[in-house]
Structure 1
Amino acid sequence: SEAMLSAATDLNLESRVPDRVALWRLRQSNPLRKGQGGRKKLDIEEARSLVLITCYLAKQHQELIRRAVGLLEQMAENNREPHQAALLGDYIDAFCNTYQERMEEDEQISTDLLTNLALKLLVDLLFYSAPGGHRRLWLALIDRSTKF
């Protein structure tokens, strides 16, 4: 939360994400997130702000993301499981725990599916941390929304 609020300030998005409560409300708009009522759909400017913040934070952590993706490639080349590398194992554990804690599922999602999702999103973050990443993420979200 602190990093997102700080990023909002750095990006001059305080009017969209002024405090923790506003950030919590934006997060609650996700229909897959656990929580009670009060959800509303994001407006375009709120969604745009979250995309800009996400890409800004990814760019700040680009070196770590790049290192993790490189390690993932090495593990695949050596036919080893990603969780056998400490950096990837810690990331996968944190992702899976956070996902299961915060997201609703009709049925329990398997660890393998969560691991695959975590690794896919890690690779995606590498692209979103690059110049023009916010545009890539925005287009991916629009593309995904037209499929539903």
Structure 2
Amino acid sequence: MVFESQAASDGGFPFTFHGSYVRAVDAKGRFNLPFRLRQGGPAEQEEKYVVLRGADGSLALQPHAVWIANFNRVREGEPGRQRREYLRRMSHGSHVVSPDSQGRIAIPANFLESAGIGRKVTVVGMADYMELWDPEQLDRKLEEPLDQDDDFINEFFR
């Protein structure tokens, strides 16, 4: 299955990342990317991801093609200082990673430190990207009350 960054006709994606998985992080900052979240495709297609700082203290792990599409979308925006700042931050704060032969992704130490990730990481599928969390920080985040629980449920299941 090849991940495509183009939206499907129903507004979704042909493949979405979903679910939550806890993985051990070794001394070199590597963890096994869950098989269900791995990109598929022909053997000659290199499986690449971009890791960057995400929302709410997490790290984001995007398929390389999705990151390129997002970068190009921002690049094609209205010229100006704000666009340059976005591009600079997207480029400066990103790192390309590929799974090794055992399916492990190596995340740079400074990224892990910035997200408070130590010996364990929770990988959360977020449709077209994944979030990487320290498990305890994610638990605290999920315990925070949502102001609009009913609105969220109605939107999700409509």
- What's the TM-score bracket when you normalise by the shorter of the two chains? under 0.3
More strand by share: 2
TM-score by length of 1: 0.28
More helix by share: 1
TM-score by length of 2: 0.27
Query: RCO higher in 1 or 2 (8 Å CA, sep ≥ 6)?
Result: 2
